[in-house]
Structure 1
Amino acid sequence: MTADLAVVLALLAITVAMFSLNRPRMDAVALIMMTALPLTGVITMNEALAGFSDPNVILIAALFVIGEGLVRTGVAQRLGDSLAKSAGRDETRMIALLMVLVAAVGAFMSSTGVVAIFIPVVLRIAQNSGVAPGRLLMPLSMAALISGMMTLVATAPNLVVNSELARQGHEGFGFFAFTPFGLPILILAVGYMVFAQRLLLSRADANEKATMLPRFATWVGEYGLAGRGHRLAIMDGSPFAGRRLEELQLRATASVDIIAIERRTHFNRQTLKPSANVQLELGDILFVATAPAYDIAAFALENALQILPIEGRDLADRSHAVGMAELIVPATSKLIGKTIVQSAIRTHYGLSVVGLKRGKKAFAGNLRDEPLKLGDTLLVAGPWHAIELLRSPADDLVILKVAAEIDEQVPAAMRAPFSLGVLALVVAAMMTGIVPNVQAALMGCLLLGLFHCVDMNAAYRSIHWQTLVVIVGMLPFSLALQKTGGIDLASGLLIDALGNAQPHVMLAALFATTAALGLFISNTATAVLMAPVALSVAAQLGASPYPFVMTVALAASAAFMTPVSSPVNTLVVGPGNYTFLDFVRVGVPFTLAVMVTVVILVPLVFPFQAAALVAGS
C-alpha cells in the first residue's frame, strides 16, 4: 500500500465516521472532503470540482424540474390520490403498491429520475394518509434501486457488464434477462419493508408531527364546519347568472356566504375572489358556507342551482381551489367592537370568515352579528391567491397559521396533458438512446417552460441543492481510489484469496466486493471495475461467464446500505428526515438477504457450465 493510498483511505474512513455521526450535516462533509482531497496531491482541485459538470449531476437537477412540472400541473397530486385511495388507511398495502409501481416505471427509465419524480407523489400520499414521509420514502428508494434489476436498460451497470461481455467475444444479455432476479427480489423487498419500516423512524415521526402545519380536516373539526360547506353550479334559468354579488346580497338575505367562485374556460380554470363587483356566469361553481342544519337543497331548488358532491371531509377535499388560514385580532385592530359584516373582511381581503374561536372554544352562534374582541381567532376561507396576500403586514388582522395544503396547490392544472406528454417524450428518448439521457431531460425542462408548466423561479426552487452537493462531493473519491491503485489492490486480493474456491462461494465474494465498493464509488464505476474481474474469475474456474457478470450487475444495484451508496438514496435523505444509521440498520440486513437470493437464483437461470447464453433470455 502506497502512502497516497493510505491517506485517501484515511480520509474515506473519516468521511464514513462523520456520516455515521451525522455531524456535521452531510453536504458540509462532502464540501470538506472536496476541499481536503486536493491537498493530498492525489487529485487536482479541477478534478475535485469536476462533479459539478458531471452529466449525471445535471441529469438529477433536470429531473427535479420535471418532477416539479408534474406537481404544478396536478399529475403528482392525482397519482398520489389514486394510490392513497387504492391503499386506504392500510399502510402495508400502501407500501406494496408504491414499491411495485416505482419498480415497474423504473424498469424503463433512470432510477434516479423515478425517485425525483415520485418524491412529491409520496409526500402527497403521506399528507393524505397521515403517515410520516419517512415511513414511505425509504421503500421508494429501495424499489427504485431494485428497478435496476428488472431490464437491460434499467440502469447503467447492466449496460456496462453487457458491453464487457461483448468486448470479450461473448453474446450479450437479452432485454429481460434480469427480470427473473428482479421480480423475486422486489417481492422480498416488499415483505421486508413492511416489517423494517415499523422499526425505523420514531424520531423522524415525532419531528414530522411536531412541525406539521394544521390541515383542512383539523380545522373543519375544531371549528365545527362539518356539513357547512357546499358546491353549487349555476344552471340555466338561475337568477344568479349575469348578476353581480353585491346585487344578490346572499349573506344578508339567505345567510349564505360565498367563499370562492370557480370559472372554467376552454383553456383554463380560474378561482375568483368573491368581491362585490364580480358578475356571475352560467356554469360558474360557487363554494359556499352556511349555518349548521341549513336547508341547502331548498336554496338550490329555488335558485336553479345544482348541488355538486364534496366527498369525504367536506371543504378539506376542495383544497386545490379553496384556501384556509387562521387570523388573530390584535390590540391595535380597528375591527374590535365591529361585527363580521361591519368589518368588511371579504371586501378588503377577498376572504370569508367561516369560524371564530375565543380562547380554545369555537363560537357556535351567528357569526354575522357577533362583535369582534381582542384576541379572537378567525378562520377565513377563500382563493389561495387571496391567502397568499395575507402574508403582507397588517394592523387589523395578524396571520397565525396557513393550512398545510398551501404547499399542494396546482397553479397550472390545465397544463397536465402537456406535462404528461413531455414526460413521455423524455422517457422515450431515454429508452431509445436517440440522445443522451441528460440532453433528453434538459429538452424536457425547456418544453415544460415553453408550455408554461413551470417557470424559472419554480424550476430553481425545485432543485434540491443539498443533495447535489453531497453527490458532487463524493465523486472525487472514485478518482482518488483509482489513481492510487486502491481498486486494483482490492480486485487482486479477491482473485488471490478465492480464485480456486467453489463457484457459489465466488459468487458470494463477487457480490460482497461489488456491494462494498459501491459504498464509496458510483455503481457504474463499480461495474466498470468489477466486470473484468468477474470474467477473469470465470475463466480461471473454467465456468460460464454469465452467472459471474450477472452477479456483479445485480450487486451494483444493491446499494441499500448507506445514503451515499447511490444518488437514489441521497435524494430521500432530506424529505425523509433520515440519518446515516437509518440506512445502515435497514440496508445491511436486506443486502445480505439479496446476496443469498442472488447466489441461489443466478446459477439456476445461468448454469456454471452453460456453453452459451440463450439469445433473448
Structure 2
Amino acid sequence: MSPAIITLLILLLATILFLTGVIPVALTALLATMLLYLTGIIDAETVFSGLTNNVVLLISGMFIIGAALFETGVARRMGNLITRFAKTEKQLLFAVMVIGAGLSAFLSNTSTTAVMMPIVIAIAASSGFSSSKLLMPLAYATALGGMITLVGTNGNLAVQSVMENENTPVFGFFEFAYIGIPLTIIGIIYMMTIGYKLIPNRETALEEADTKNEEEATSEEATWKQMVAIGVLLAAVVFMIFEEQFGIPLHIVSVMGAMVIVLTRTMSEKKAYRSLDFSTIILVAAMMPMATALAETGAAQMIADYVLEMAGSNAGPYVITALIFGVTTVLTSVMSNTAAAALMAPIGLVIAASMGVDPKAILMTVCVGASAAYASPVGTPPNTMIYGPGNYTFLDYIKCGFPFLVIQLIVCVVIVPLIWPF
C-alpha cells in the first residue's frame, strides 16, 4: 500500500472520529499523528514539530494577553462600551463581523481572531448572550475579510507567488476586493439570517468563570494593571499591522506581550498557565503533521488529479471553475490554506493553458476556495481557536458552514467570470 493511500485512510479515520465525537478532538488529532508515525509516513521529528510552529506560539501568547483583559476588568469595560451601541444579539453579531472582516483585510486571520476573541466573549458575558452565537461569526468574518486584499491571507500570497514564478500577470493589491467585498456582504447577511438559526446557543464554562473574574478585577486589580493590559494589546495590534516595517514576526510579538503581562504582575504566572487552552493548542499542533503528510506523500495531489480527471477534458470553464473551488475547499479543510493554494495554483495554470483561457479567473477561484474552510474546526486556526470557548462540536461547523459553502460556490462561479473573463 502506497504512503499516499495510507495517509488518506488515516485522514478518513480521523474525520470519522471528529464527526462522531467518540474521543476528544485533541486526542483524535494526536491519534492520527501517531498512526502516521507508526506507519512510517512521518519521522519522529515531525510528530511534535507543530508544537513549535509559529501559529501555535502566536495562539498561546494571545491566550495569555486575552486572559489579562479579563483579569483586569478591561474586557468587561470594552464589552459595556460596544453594547451601548449594539443592544441586541444580532446587532452585536453584525458589529463583530464588520470589525473582524475589516481588521482581517490587513492583519492575519489568526491574529485578528486572537485579538478579538476575548473581547467578544466579554461582550457576550456582560450582555447575557451566548458566546457560541458570536464566536463562529467572528471566525467566518476573519476568513471573509482575508479575501479583500492581497495580504489578507497567506493563500492569496501563495497564489501570487506562483503567478510571479510563471511570469503570469499578477493581481493588484485591492483586485481581490471585487470578489472579497461581495462575499463578505453576503456572508454577513447569511450569518444574520440562515446561519444565525444554525449556530448552537450554548452556555459555556468560560462565561461563568469570566463573570467571576471580572467582578474580582473591578474591586481588586489596580488601574495601572488595566493600562498595562490595554497597552500590550494595542502594541500587539500595531506590531501585527506593521510586521514588515518592524521586522518582528507575529509569534514573537505575541510571546513578548505575554511575558510583559507576567513580568509586570498584571496576571500571575499560575493564572497565565491556566489561561492556555491546551485542547486547542494540541489540536492545532497535532494536525500540522497531517498537512505535511498530505503534501509530501502526494495524497493531496492525488485528490486534485482524480477529481479533475473525472470532469473530463471537454468540461467547460464554468464546470472547471466549480470543480477547482470544490477541490480547493476540500483540501483547505484538512491542510493549511497556504498549502492548499500553493498546491492548486500550478494545477489551475496548467488547466487554463490547456483550455486557452485567461488564468486569472481560475486562480482567483483558488484564492477564494482556499479561504473557505467554514465546515471544519481544523480547517483554519481561527476555526480551531473558537472550538473550545464556543463549546462547539464538529457537526456544528458542518451544519452552519456547508450551506454557506454552497452559496459561496454559486457566487464565485457567477461573479469571477464577470470580473475576470475567460
Instruction: Specify if TM > 0.5.
Output: yes
Q: Which residue of 1 aligns with 2:81?
A: 82
Given residue 92 of structure 1, which amino acid in structure 2 is its aligned partner?
Answer: K
Q: Are residues 1:430 and 2:243 paired?
A: yes
Paired residues, number: 419
Q: Are the counterparts in 2 of residues 111 and 144 from structure 1 also a CA contact under 8 Å?
A: yes
State whether residues 66 and 444 of structure 1, in contact with CA within 8 Å, keep that contact through their aligned partners in structure 2. Answer: yes
Q: Which residue of 2 aligns with 1:306?
A: none
- 2:65, 2:233 within 8 Å by CA — same for their partners in 1? no
Distance (Å, rounded) in 2 between the aligned partners of 1:74 and 1:213: 13
Amino acid in the other structure paired with 1:479:
T
* Displacement of 1:439: 3.0
TM-score, normalised via structure 2 length: 0.91
Match in the other structure for 2:416: 602
Deviation at 1:455, TM superposition (A): 5.1
Deviation, structure 1 residue 471: 1.1
The residue that corresponds to 2:281 in the other structure is 468
Structure 1 position 479, deviation (Å): 2.1
Alignment of 1:241-260 (within 5 A): none
Task: Classify 1:107/1:28 alpha carbon distance in 2 versus 1 (closer, same or farther; 3 Å).
Answer: same
Q: Aligned partners of 2:243 and 2:28: how far apart in 1? A: 33
1:34–1:490 distance in 2 versus 1, CA, 3 Å = closer
Instruction: Tell me which residue corresponds to 1:165.
Output: 163
The equivalent residue for 2:36 is: 37
Higher alpha-carbon Rg: 1
1:430 and 1:440 in contact (8 A); partners too: no
For 2:78 and 2:121, the matched residues in 1 are separated by: 11
Q: Which residue pairs with 1:539 in the alignment? A: 353
Query: Which deviations, in whole Å up to 9, do the C-alpha atoms of 1:269-305 show, x marking residues without a partner?
Result: xxxxxxxxxxxxxxxxxxxxxxxxxxxxxxxxxxxxx
**Identity across the alignment (%):** 33
TM-score between the two structures when normalised by the length of structure 1: 0.63
Aligned to 1:100: 98
Match of residue 236 from structure 1: none
Checking the alignment, whether the CA contact within 8 Å between 2:70 and 2:210 is kept in structure 1 is no
Q: In structure 1, how many angstroms separate the alpha carbons of the residues matched to 2:81 and 2:261?
A: 24
Partner residue, 2:334: 520
- Checking the alignment, whether the CA contact within 8 Å between 2:55 and 2:251 is kept in structure 1 is yes
* 8 Å CA contact retained: 2:69, 2:226: no
Aligned to 2:62: 63
Query: Residues 214 and 467 from structure 1, CA distance in 2 versus in 1: closer, same or farther, beyond 3 angstroms?
Result: closer
Residue 399 (structure 2) pairs with residue 585 (structure 1): yes
Distance 1:66 1:165 in 2: 38
Report the 3-state secondary structure (helix = DSSP H, G, I; strand = E; otherwise coil) of the residue aligned with 1:559. Answer: coil
Match of 1:264 in 2: none
Q: Is the 2:65–2:229 Cα contact (8 Å) retained in structure 1?
A: no
**Which residue of the other structure, out of 225, 228, 237, is the alignment partner of 1:412?**
225
Residues 181-196 of structure 1 correspond to what in structure 2 (within 5 A)?
Answer: 181-195=179-193, 196=195
Q: In 2, Cα distance between the equivalents of 1:547 and 1:214? A: 47
Deviations 1:174-194 (A, max 9, x none): 221212222211221222112
Residues 443 and 606 of structure 1: CA distance in aligned 2, closer, same or farther (over 3 Å): farther
Aligned-partner Cα distance in 2 for 1:17–1:201: 21
Q: Displacement, 1:525?
A: 0.9
* Larger RCO of the pair (alpha carbons < 8 Å, separation 6+): 2
Q: Does 1:481 align with 2:299?
A: no
CA contact (8 A) 2:73 2:217 kept: no
Aligned CA distance change for structure 1 residues 150 and 442 (closer, same or farther; 3 Å): same
Contact 1:429 1:437 in 2 (8 A): no
Give the C-alpha shift of residue 97 in structure 1: 1.0
| 8 Å contact kept, 1:66–1:423 | no
Per residue, is there more helix in 1 or in 2? Answer: 2
In structure 2, what is the Cα distance between the partners aligned to 1:441 and 1:384?
26
Deviations 1:7-63 (A, max 9, x none): 222211111111111121111111222222111112112212211122222222223
**Aligned counterpart, 1:49:** 48
Change in 2 beyond 3 A, CA 1:569/1:410: farther
Q: How does 1:214-233 map to 2 (within 5 A)?
A: none
What is the letter of the counterpart of residue 335 of structure 2?
I
Q: Quick one: which amino acid aligns to residue 492 of structure 1?
A: D
State the 1:169 CA deviation: 0.5
Aligned equivalents of 2:142, 2:266: Cα separation in 1 = 26
- Cα–Cα, structure 1 residues 215 and 44, in superposed 2: closer, same or farther, change >3 Å? closer
Classify 1:144/1:597 alpha carbon distance in 2 versus 1 (closer, same or farther; 3 Å). Answer: same
Q: CA deviation at 1:76?
A: 3.3
Q: Distance in 2 between matches of 1:26 and 1:450?
A: 33
The Cα of 1:415 is off from its aligned counterpart by: 2.5
| CA apart distance, 1:443 | 3.9
Equivalent-residue separation in structure 1 for 2:371 and 2:210 (angstroms): 39
Query: In the alignment, which of 362, 376, 387 is matched to residue 548 of structure 1?
Result: 362
Which residue of structure 1 aligns with residue 387 of structure 2? 573
8 Å Cα contact 2:288/2:335 also seen in 1: yes
Residue equivalent to 1:492: 305
Give the equivalent residue in structure 2 for 1:330.
none
Give the Cα separation in 2 of the matches to 1:215 and 1:523. 36
Which residue of structure 1 aligns with residue 128 of structure 2? 130
Cα distance in 2 between the residues matched to 1:37 and 1:452? 42
Q: CA deviation at 1:4?
A: 2.9
* Equivalent runs, 1:357-372 vs 2, <5 Å: none
Whole-angstrom CA distance in 2 between matches of 1:212 and 1:452:
24
* 8 Å CA contact 2:318, 2:413 repeated in 1: yes
Question: Are the structure 2 counterparts of residues 511 and 463 from structure 1 closer, same or farther at C-alpha, using a change threshold of 3 Å?
Answer: same
SS in 2 for 1:543: coil
1:115 corresponds to which of 108, 113, 116: 113
Q: Residue 146 of structure 1: which of 136, 144, 147 is its match?
A: 144
Equivalent in the alignment of 1:405: none
Query: Which structure shows the higher strand fraction?
Result: 1
Q: Which amino acid aligns with 1:81?
A: N
Structure 1 partner of 2:316: 502
Structure 1 gap segments, 5+ residues each = 217-317, 323-382, 386-408, 609-617
Counterpart CA distance in 2 for 1:208 and 1:51 is 28
Q: Give the drift of 1:555.
A: 0.8
Q: Is the 8 A contact 1:132 1:208 kept in 2?
A: no
Larger CA deviation: 476-485 vs 12-21: 476-485
Higher mean alpha-carbon deviation, 451-460 vs 128-137, is at: 451-460
The DSSP-based 3-state class of the residue aligned with 1:574 is: coil
**8 A contact 1:73–1:419 mirrored in 2:** no
CA contact (8 A) 1:74 1:412 kept: no
1:169 to 1:215, Cα distance in 2 relative to 1, 3 A: closer
CA RMSD of aligned residues (A): 2.7
**Does structure 2 conserve the Cα–Cα contact (< 8 Å) formed by 1:415 and 1:452?**
no
- Kept after mapping to 1: 8 A contact 2:125/2:210: no
CA distance in 1, matches of 2:281, 2:230: 29
- AA aligned to 2:303 is A
SS class of match (1:526): helix
CA distance in 2, matches of 1:73, 1:176: 39
Equivalences for residues 192-203 of structure 1 within 5 A? 192-195=190-193, 196-201=195-200
The one-letter amino acid paired with 1:472 is A
Q: Given that residues 429 and 440 in structure 1 are in contact (C-alpha distance below 8 angstroms), is that contact kept between their aligned partners in structure 2? A: no
Counterparts of 2:37 and 2:368, CA distance in 1: 33
